[in-house]
Amino acid sequence: MNCSDYSTAWVCRTCGSLVSLGYDDVTLGEQRVGPNAVSRPTGPGGEYCRVCRAVQEEEDERARATLAANGAAAPGQNGLRVAISSQNVLGSSRKGGDLDIVAIPYVFRYLCAELAAMGIAVSLEVH
């Protein structure tokens, strides 16, 4: 993978998203207190997948609503899936967050961003 547009990117192993990286500044020393306090998994520098976190927060909200009133259906998600071999995985987050660093051409990252802008989700499978 030595080419002129060599790039590295974070990829979520759960949803396969390349363009949904979020960042929490872990140096701020955020405290969580109370019975409903949940510590969300992040990468070593505070990286997380915004798609998976939003789904998790939606499921938590749905569970709270189910306790108050019965019923709720889970929506499905469709999209395009692309496989990436393990030789392109440069590193993975052992602390949590389920994110890997992969080597990809920058033009592929640009293509994923353009497709996302048109509403087409590209999902990467890291083997």
CATH of the domain at 21: 3.90.1800
- The beta strands (E) that lie in 4-121 are given as 6-12, 21-23, 47-49, 80-84, 89-92, 99-105
Domain count, the chain: 1
In a domain, 1, yes or no: no
Cβ contact 57:40 at 8 Å:
no
In a domain, 107, yes or no: yes
Give tens-digit pLDDT for 82-126: 766 766 666 554 444 578 888 899 999 999 999 989 999 888 888
pTM for the structure as a whole: 0.58
Give tens-digit pLDDT for 31-46: 554 455 555 555 656 7
Cβ contact 34:121 at 8 Å:
no
What is residue 18's three-state secondary structure? coil
Distance CA 43, CA 49 (A): 9
